[in-house]
Amino acid sequence: MKAGRSLNWLDKSLLWVSAPVQKAIVWVIDGAAGLWTDYVYLVGLCEENQQLQARVEELEREFARFGEVQAENVRLKDLVHMRERLGETGVVAARVVSVGISPVSRTIRIDVGSDDGVFVGDAVVAGAGLVGRVSGTVGRYSEVLLMVDSRSAVAAIIQRSRARGIVRGRGEDEVCSVDHLVRTADVRAGDVVVTSGVGGAFPPGLQVGSIVIATSPNVGVFREAELEPAVEFESLEEVMIVTTRPGSPAEVEKGQEEVKAIDETEAGIVPAKALPTQRGVPIPQRVPETEPEEEPAVGRETP
């Protein structure tokens, strides 16, 4: 075996000069290759990130749709339960298409009208209870006067004590007034208030709301209370109209007169002609019962 040749001074000089250059060249090549690898990796990572972001957005949309479907399902279940409570009464389902913007009235518009058998004065309900009544209808649309409107009056009854009163709107979604409660009426906070059916404008037993405050005046004939409506009017989307059964024009006119009479009367009570009260409203008086006239006996001679 041949022994290795020792380097002379020239070989040593060339090696000493070329070694750093070779090292630098290798470093540059390795660095460039690493940068290219990192670039390719980052490009793939960016594309994967975009795909994941798109998937997240798609899942968020699906989740929002699922939440909307779930909320609609709850509302429709409530309507179905209300339909079952109404029994054989005819109803027409409708959607709210617009909300009145007038500051002095509380109304909504629905997508059914006279073409669907809806009449002025028909009661409108939601799953939670009473909404109001139809105040105008034409074609395939109707306007509904909400029970919280200041022009609305609903003959009602305290479910627990059976005390009668009239629920009047204030133009606010959160509270209504309950008046014409006799001073001795048993009314407490938390009592459920339902429609009494007096006047025929609303079916009896529809939930109107619950009492939040009941006053106990020392003077006066009536006591008053405040009621929180059962229906959330700000989120109202679907309703049902309790349809009026077709009848003669005289019967329809009579029904509309009964609706108007709710503002002034309740079971056996009519407004007095001119009796001032603390609120400037005439005090209702009960209609006196008249005794039947005695018929003359047949065959009896008069003196």
Q: What is the pLDDT of residues 207-231, one digit of tens each?
A: 999 999 998 877 778 888 999 999 9
110 forms bridges with which residues in the sheet?
96, 142
Q: How many CB atoms lie within 10 A of CB 170?
A: 15
Answer yes or no: is 195 within a domain.
Answer: no
Answer yes or no: is 154 within a domain.
Answer: no
**Residue 196 scores a pLDDT above 50:** yes
Q: Find, among 192, 207, 198, 243, the residue nearest to 85 by Cα.
A: 207
Overall pTM surpassing 0.85 (yes/no): no
The residue to which tokens 């005794």 are assigned: 291
Do 98 and 73 sit in the same domain of this protein? no
Answer yes or no: is 63 within a domain.
Answer: yes
- Structure confidence at residue 276 (pLDDT): 36
- Structure confidence at residue 79 (pLDDT): 77
Average pLDDT over residues 268-286: 38
Please report, for the domain that includes residue 115, its CATH number: 2.40.10.340
Q: What does the alpha-carbon distance between residue 212 and residue 189 come to, in Å, rounded to a whole number?
A: 5
**Domain-terminating residue out of 127, 146, 165:** 146
**Is the model more confident about 43 or about 236?**
236
Structural domain harbouring 25: 14-87
- Structure confidence at residue 52 (pLDDT): 83
Answer yes or no: is 192 within a domain.
Answer: no
The residue to which tokens 């008249």 are assigned: 290
Do 82 and 18 sit in the same domain of this protein? yes
**Domain-terminating residue out of 87, 102, 131:** 87
- Structure confidence at residue 3 (pLDDT): 54
Mean pLDDT rounded to a whole number for the chain: 77
Answer yes or no: is 229 within a domain.
Answer: no
User: Is the Cβ–Cβ distance between 240 and 97 less than 8 Å?
Assistant: no
> Number of structural domains, the chain?
2
Measured between alpha carbons, how far is residue 271 from residues 113, 217, 265, 267 in Å? 34, 21, 7, 12
How does residue 86 score in pLDDT terms, banded at 50, 70 and 90? confident
Q: What is the pLDDT of residues 1-46, one digit of tens each?
A: 455 556 666 666 666 666 676 666 767 676 666 677 766 677 777 7
Per DSSP, which regions of the chain are E strands? 91-99, 107-110, 123-125, 130-138, 141-146, 153-158, 164-169, 176-182, 192-195, 207-214, 222-229, 238-242, 269-271, 284-286
**Is the model more confident about 1 or about 183?**
183
Q: Which of 81-90, 212-221, 233-242 has the highest mean pLDDT?
A: 233-242
SS3 of residue 225 by DSSP:
strand
CA 224, distance to chain mean position in Å, is 26
The residue to which tokens 């349809």 are assigned: 243
SS3 of residue 162 by DSSP:
coil
Do 80 and 104 sit in the same domain of this protein? no
The residue to which tokens 């603390």 are assigned: 278
Residue 177 sits at φ, ψ, to 5 deg, of: -100, 145
Residues near 65 by Cβ (< 8 Å), separated by ≥ 6? none
**Domain-terminating residue out of 126, 146, 166:** 146
How does residue 102 score in pLDDT terms, banded at 50, 70 and 90? confident
Answer yes or no: is 8 within a domain.
Answer: no
Q: Find, among 228, 239, 166, the residue nearest to 192 by Cα.
A: 228
Answer yes or no: is 52 within a domain.
Answer: yes
Q: Is the dihedral of CA 112, 118, 120, 121 positive or negative?
A: negative
Q: What does the alpha-carbon distance between residue 280 and residue 268 come to, in Å, rounded to a whole number?
A: 22
Q: What does the alpha-carbon distance between residue 30 and residue 24 come to, in Å, rounded to a whole number?
A: 10
- Structure-derived torsion over alpha carbons of residues 201, 126, 213, 285, reported in degrees to the nearest 10: 0
Q: Residues 220, 222, 224, CA angle at the centre, nearest 5°?
A: 115
Do 72 and 126 sit in the same domain of this protein? no
The residue to which tokens 């009536």 are assigned: 222
Answer yes or no: is 160 within a domain.
Answer: no
**Is the model more confident about 259 or about 143?**
143
Percentage with pLDDT > 70 across the chain: 68
Q: What does the alpha-carbon distance between residue 200 and residue 33 come to, in Å, rounded to a whole number?
A: 89
